Amino acid sequence: MTTDRVCDVWELSRRQGSVEGALALGDAPRLAGQLADAVGALRYRLSGLVDELGRPAAVLELQGRVRARCDRCGGPVELPIDERAQFFFVTDEQALGKLPIDESPQEPLLGSRRFDVAALVEDQAILALPISPRHDDCAGPGPRDGDRGSDGETHRPFEALAALKKKARR
Ligand SMILES: [Zn+2]
């Protein structure tokens, strides 16, 4: 097990190895741009396997907490990120283009001997964000007192997750 942010996915799959680490939000500008701040990190683990169709594949697990901006009041909303997704790897762009759309819920990725794990983590975290983050009990525009004491538990992330799963199953 290594903590490299770049890995050889063919080797990872063959050895059924894993890479894990933490992606600081400060190092994820595309993600941080959609958040209230860039404080914190996401823990990730990419575990290699050979899937049921014999393809080199991997499971990405992603966990952490981020703060997005509430669509109604503009205040920070804490969102738990807890994602798990399986991918399989193809060797070139051409193979990627030839795949039938929606053949399976698992997404194809262009594999590499120097695959950018950190970029995949960032992409998945962005997909996991709700389209319109809101406080569950948002009082609407304007300053509110409740923000500080909020424990950040909202139902929105789970709705987003459900929507994502539905999309993946389509
Ligand atoms: Zn709000």
pLDDT at 142 over 90: no
Q: How far apart are CA 5 and CA 122, in angstroms?
A: 12
Which pLDDT value is given to residue 144?
47
Distance 33 CA to ligand 1 centre (A): 19
DSSP string, 7-62: E-HHHHHHHT-EEEEEEEGGG-HHHHTTSS---SEEEEEEEEEE-TTS-EEEEEEE
For the chain, give the mean pLDDT: 85
Ligand 1 centroid, distance to 42 Cα (angstroms): 24
Q: How far is residue 110's CA from residue 89's CA, in Å, rounded to a whole number?
A: 6
pLDDT at 148: 47
Which of 29-33, 44-48, 145-149 is least confident? 145-149
* pLDDT for the residue 155: 47
User: What is the whole-number distance in angstroms between the Cα of residue 76 and the centre of ligand 1?
Assistant: 7
Q: Which residues contact 35 (CB under 8 A, 6 or more apart)?
A: 25, 66, 67, 68, 69
Say yes or no to pLDDT of 10 above 60.
yes
